Copies of this chain bind each other. A is one copy, B any other.
Amino acid sequence: MAPTSEPLTAERILEATEEVLRRHGPAKATVVDVARALGVSHGSVYRHFRTKAALREAVTKRWLDRTSEELSGIAADEDRVPEARLRDWLEALFRAKRRKAGDDPELFATYMVLAGENGTAVAEHIGDLIAQLARIVRAGVDTGAFAAADPDRTARAVFQAGGRFHDPCHARAWEKPGVEDDFAAVVDLMLRGLAAR
């Protein structure tokens, strides 16, 4: 990334950090590399992120947030029936993760290392996704389409039961033949499990 006269924002630092991580890998990337890529002193970077660990956590969070933001519109779309929203939300999550893993496997592997270092950021991300699911489950209970005595518990179960299609430890399965039908079968089972009777 060439030096520019744009003001040095946290977002620009995070973009450069991602680029440095992509180039050097998670073990070797340093704050000095990030500063050099931006054409600024490392002190300027430290004014935004006080430690290397804080910078790594922020770039992890940014990467995770991109997925949550993509999904939040589906969860919030009260104009659509909850079954369709739930299907779309699960499908969008699967596609987002699969795209991240498949389009840029090295960056994905890098973020897996960062995720391992930043358990709190990952836990918050998962909490955020489950809260989105709970919103859809609650909407379904309100319309009478779903039955769930405890929507938060049910949302968590839906998230975990779909883990094969979003947890990075299963990434290798996402390119196998038949994975689309496997996904559809699990979603069918979950939606039957949610349906009021």
**A interface, CB within 8 angstroms of B:** 153-154, 156-158, 160-164, 167, 169-170, 181-182, 185-186, 188-194, 197
Contact = CB atoms under 8 A, between A and B. Distances in A.
A154 B167 CA distance: 21
In terms of DSSP, what is the predominant structure of the interface of chain A? helix
B160 A186 contact: yes
Nearest to A161: B161
A119 to B, nearest CB: 10
B197 A154 contact: no
A190 B197 CA distance: 15
B189 A157 contact: yes
Given A156-B185, A161-B162, A190-B193, 12 more contacts: A153-B181, A154-B185, A154-B189, A156-B182, A157-B185, A161-B186, A161-B190, A163-B170, A167-B169, A188-B193, A189-B190, A192-B193
Contacts of A158: 189
Q: Which of A161, A163, A188, A192 has the most CB of B within 10 A?
A: A161
A26 to B, nearest CB: 20
6 contacts: A154-B185, A154-B189, A160-B186, A169-B170, A189-B190, A192-B194
